[in-house]
Amino acid sequence: MDYILTKSKYIRGLQCVKAMYLDVYHPEWAYYPPETLARFRCGRDFERTFKNTFPKGIDISARLKNKISSYPILTADLLAQPGEVTLFEAGFLYDEVLVLADVVHKDLDGTLTIYEVKNGKTISDTFRNDVAVQHYVISHAIPSIIPNDLFCTSLCLKHFYVLYNDGQDGFAKEDLMDRSFAQHPIIKENISQFKAILAQAEPNIDISDHCNTPYECPYKRHCLRPPSV
């Protein structure tokens, strides 16, 4: 299965298309300061704590490791089986965009509840955009990978939560299904534009305020280098 964009690269493109381009073609140029790496570790620990509440969860990434292109195939096989199942890092592919969902729980009636886990104490626009692009890809991918007779007839995705830190070592959540669905036309247009940019030369974009909002760009050092003679 081929893909051009991933969820993280799509989110990168919303901040700066040049950063997205470098993320695809030159990820080795990225620099993350120690405090950012520490924040990443805290986020992974928080995510792991939530996943531990599903003791029977199947970790797709543990089974397939770096065979990322195979994630959607195994995900489809497991979701198509009858009965209840919980998957970690489940892969879905649509419109050449690959997303890996933190937690996907299929209930006995075939409905899906999906959790995007964020170690933040508020829901930022970045979190909302993260869930929205996942919803776009997953909602379009599901009908083609799950037989209708194993799926509910009235509803496929039941809930799509962003799960975040309640500030007291616990979890809070908000269902972003309706908001995410409303974003589909914008996401479709963004994906089309991003793929067109990736098919061309590296964009020429000057350093500006966007390099630090909402996060400091890991490619600032590259952009600050003087042009080669």
Q: Residue 146: its pLDDT value, please?
A: 56
Instruction: Single out the residue of 135, 191, 184 nearest to residue 11, CA to CA.
Output: 191
pLDDT of residue 81: 87
User: H helices of the chain, where?
Assistant: 7-15, 17-25, 34-51, 60-64, 71-80, 125-145, 177-182, 184-198, 220-224
Residue 64: per-residue pLDDT = 97
CA distance 206 to 27: 19
Q: What is the DSSP string of 173-184?
A: EEE-HHHHHHTH
pLDDT score of 229 more than 60: no
What's the confidence (pLDDT) of residue 47? 96
Amino acid at 118: K
- Tokens representing 131 are 């869930």
Give the max Cα distance, the chain: 64
For the record, the structure tokens of 106 come out as 């299929």
Mean pLDDT of all residues in 47-64: 96
pLDDT tens track for 37-50: 999 999 999 999 99
Has residue 149 got a pLDDT over 70?
no
Give tens-digit pLDDT for 72-121: 999 999 998 888 999 999 999 999 999 999 999 999 888 999 999 999 99
